[in-house]
Structure 1
Amino acid sequence: MTTTATQLQTIARLWPALDDALGDRTQHAWPPPSLRGYLDALSRHDASEAAALRALERNPEQLGARPVPINLAIVDTMHKVEAALHETATQIAAANQLGAHTSHPHRWSFTGRPPGAAWTALWLSARASGVFWPGRALSEPQERHLGHVAAEALNRVESALDLADGCRELTSTHACACGGTIELRGGAGAAPRARCKGCGAYWTENGVIAA
């Protein structure tokens, strides 16, 4: 089985977890909230700026202040991944699908309601694996394009579910006391951690453990 096929099958396997996460309004963006809160304490906002931010949070006219019943980040991920998979499948079928075998179960339909993202991912996985269908095998350019789409889609899904390994450098707003850049790592089930690239100070969710 190719890497692309495996990635597409993983998307199909993880898709129900995205459905489950729709009702979770907790934001899974990087850096993780608990470590972000600790690092925010390093910022140089003065008391008046903090008070102004709190006032905005309490202002009912502030955009986004009202509770949202679903996790918009998950909705955005699902929409983008599903659209990319459907577009790719439609392009492949339009170019490669043959007119015969109209009742074949692997035939892509251009009419009616589009299939779900999980089914589409499995259909594309079959094309990447060379499973027989009423159409020609993928060309090398098609294989490369599908590989790119699959990798990007899986990255979005894993990031949304906090399954991906993340690494990010903070801006100067959250610089270390020495002035150095702080690098954050975490995700994929690992505890979040941060390190100053200047002095080597090391943080976990419990605070500074080395300096």
Structure 2
Amino acid sequence: MTTTATHLRTIALHWTDLRDALATTGLATWPPAGRMADYLSALDRADEQLVEAARWQAAYARQYLDRDPSQVGETRPPLRIAILDTMRVVEAALTHCADDIASQVQRPPMGMPSACLATYGSQREADIAKRDRDRKAELARTDLADPRRWRHTGRRDAVRASLWLLARIEHRPGPCRPINDAQAKRIGTVAAGAAERVERALDITAQKRTLAQRCPCGGEIDMHGGEGRPPVAHCAGCGRIWTTGGAIAA
């Protein structure tokens, strides 16, 4: 079973891949569109309107992508909107989770020593007190700047949040007390959902989906793909298989 730690590492490791994918094209979508959709639509000849609509949409999409950017009217967006939406949702979920967990388990920074108003019987006593105040002040500055501390200002991105939450799951040392079972479950739920979005956006995980459309034999059609592989559809009833190259007899 995939662990929360694995989900959080997946997010941290692939965040740069998402940034790179923002300005690129060619990433697969799931379920796959285009020719595969045409093959599956053709299974149901009675629904001619659906087939015609799919063809019209594909033709329009080709015209949209082939437009000269200098032309007046809609052109291809400079960023991949689906990737951008994924990054925004994942980052918001992780930082919000880190905010909540930190508010419950993170120790406040040490306070700076107060100004000395005492009088001393000798210079030696005064020097000892000053060294003690200096030591406490240095400890407070170090504690405040501890990189293991979750912050509500400054760097608040998905990588920082996932690594900080990972440290809590793995009970690493830091200015925090150990999380309890309820907090671990909350982190696990958020991490699993975020990692699934990242993997789906980058097409780096195997996927399976049962289509609403059925085979002519009446059986359910399961579509398999992901991990960069071409999609394949399989009828659970008669065993017929479809690929982007056409139908294969059972």
TM (norm. structure 1) is 0.84
- For residue 39 of structure 1, report the CA deviation from its aligned partner: 2.2
Q: What is the alpha-carbon distance in structure 2 between the residues aligned to residue 163 and residue 180 of structure 1?
A: 29
Q: For 1:14-72, what per-residue CA distance to the aligned partner results, in whole angstroms no more than 9, with x for missing partners?
A: 0011001111344632122353343244353248656865797679xxxx964222111
Q: From the superposition, tell whether residues 141 and 38 of structure 1 become closer, same or farther in structure 2 (CA, over 3 Å).
A: same
Gaps of at least 5 residues in structure 2 are: 65-72, 111-142
Q: For 1:134-183, what per-residue CA distance to the aligned partner results, in whole angstroms no more than 9, with x for missing partners?
A: 111111100111111111111110000011211111113xx322233211
Match of 1:21 in 2: 21
* Equivalent of residue 79 in structure 1, options 82, 88, 101: 88
Match of 1:136 in 2: 177
Q: What is the alpha-carbon distance in structure 1 between the residues aligned to residue 59 and residue 4 of structure 2?
A: 49
Q: What is the alpha-carbon distance in structure 2 between the residues aligned to residue 54 and residue 105 of structure 1?
A: 50
| Structure 1, 5-14 or 134-143: larger mean CA deviation | 5-14
* Residues 1:108 and 2:117 aligned together: no
Amino acid across the alignment from 1:191: P
Amino acid across the alignment from 1:3: T
Matches within 5 A, 1:150-165: 150-165=191-206
RMSD: 2.8
Instruction: Figure out how many residues of one structure are paired with residues of the other and give that number.
Output: 204
Amino acid across the alignment from 2:216: A
Q: For 1:62-95, what per-residue CA distance to the aligned partner results, in whole angstroms no more than 9, with x for missing partners?
A: xx96422211111111111101110011111111
Matches within 5 A, 1:38-117: 38-43=39-44, 44-46=47-49, 66-99=75-108, 100=110, 101-110=143-152, 112-117=153-158
Amino acid across the alignment from 1:152: G
* SS of aligned partner of 2:191: helix
Q: From the superposition, tell whether residues 201 and 35 of structure 1 become closer, same or farther in structure 2 (CA, over 3 Å).
A: same
Contact 2:27 2:203 survives alignment (8 Å): no
Instruction: Compare CA radii of gyration and give the structure with the larger one.
Output: 2
Q: What is the alpha-carbon distance in structure 2 between the residues aligned to residue 136 and residue 51 of structure 1?
A: 59
Match of 2:115 in 1: none
| Structure 1, 200-209 or 81-90: larger mean CA deviation | 200-209
* Equivalent of residue 185 in structure 1, options 224, 230, 245: 224
Q: From the superposition, tell whether residues 13 and 207 of structure 1 become closer, same or farther in structure 2 (CA, over 3 Å).
A: same
Gaps of at least 5 residues in structure 1 are: none
Q: From the superposition, tell whether residues 37 and 119 of structure 1 become closer, same or farther in structure 2 (CA, over 3 Å).
A: farther
Match of 1:167 in 2: 208
Q: For 1:96-131, what per-residue CA distance to the aligned partner results, in whole angstroms no more than 9, with x for missing partners?
A: 111232221111112x33422112211111111111
| Structure 1, 19-28 or 95-104: larger mean CA deviation | 19-28
Q: What is the alpha-carbon distance in structure 1 between the residues aligned to residue 58 and residue 7 of structure 2?
A: 43
TM (norm. structure 2) is 0.72
- For residue 185 of structure 1, report the CA deviation from its aligned partner: 0.9
